[in-house]
């Protein structure tokens, strides 16, 4: 066997090493994204449940609206509508679990995106006064 006979085997090993490195980079990217979100929250604990009248969800919701271009889906007055606020609090908690938990897997984030889709559909239903298109005019609920 000559050195040139080993080239395919060596290339195969390098390919596997590259794939492993790529997967580690994806995990790190996800963790960095979480740190950026946390920084935007001014160091507040992401796991704290949002209370009524508590605006701690606001930075995360702003990030969500910007990141996923949801300005036409989530009304600006979301905090004044308890069902929408509750949906967003649940989404936030699930997002923390999907990206911030050291035990989380890539599939958790995929599941979160599927949950996001369902949640957005419910948010459209909860927005009975069409605040997202007409602006907030009715009572808080
Ligand atoms: Zn409203």
Ligand 1 mean position, distance from CA 11 (Å) = 59
Ligand 1 mean position, distance from CA 34 (Å) = 29
pLDDT score recorded for residue 46: 44
Ligand 1 mean position, distance from CA 132 (Å) = 7
Q: Tokens 């006064």, residue? A: 129
Ligand 1 mean position, distance from CA 82 (Å) = 10
- The stretch 79-96 carries a mean pLDDT of 94
- When the pLDDT of each residue in the chain is averaged and rounded to a whole number, the result is 82
pLDDT score recorded for residue 36: 64
Whole-model pTM: value is: 0.60
Ligand 1 mean position, distance from CA 25 (Å) = 41
Ligand 1 mean position, distance from CA 74 (Å) = 10
pLDDT score recorded for residue 83: 95
pLDDT score recorded for residue 25: 74
The C-alpha atoms of residue 78 and residue 88 are separated, in whole angstroms, by 9
Handedness of CA 58, 61, 63, 69 (dihedral sign): negative
Helices marked H in the chain = 3-40, 58-67, 82-99, 106-126, 131-134
Instruction: Judge whether residue 66 has pLDDT over 70.
Output: yes
Ligand 1 mean position, distance from CA 93 (Å) = 23
pLDDT score recorded for residue 65: 97
Instruction: Judge whether residue 17 has pLDDT over 70.
Output: yes
- The stretch 80-102 carries a mean pLDDT of 91
Q: How many CA atoms lie within 13 A of 108 on its CB side?
A: 16
Q: What is the pLDDT of residues 100-133, one digit of tens each?
A: 777 778 789 999 999 999 999 999 999 999 999 9
Q: Express as a percent the part of the chain with pLDDT over 90.
A: 46
What single DSSP character describes residue 39? H
């Amino acid at each position: 066997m000559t050195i040139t006979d080993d080239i395919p085997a060596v290339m195969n090993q390098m390919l596997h090493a590259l794939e492993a490195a790529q997967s580690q980079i994806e995990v790190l990217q996800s963790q960095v994204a979480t740190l950026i979100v946390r920084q935007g929250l001014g160091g507040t604990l992401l796991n704290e449940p949002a209370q009524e009248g508590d605006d701690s969800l606001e930075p995360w919701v702003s990030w969500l609206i910007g990141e996923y271009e949801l300005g036409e889906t989530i009304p600006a007055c979301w905090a004044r509508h308890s069902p929408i606020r509750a949906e967003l609090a649940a989404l936030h908690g699930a997002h923390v679990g999907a990206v911030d938990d050291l035990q989380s897997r890539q599939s958790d984030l995929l599941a979160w995106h599927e949950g996001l889709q369902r949640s957005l559909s419910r948010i459209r239903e909860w927005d009975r006064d069409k605040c997202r298109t007409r602006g907030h005019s009715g009572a808080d609920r």
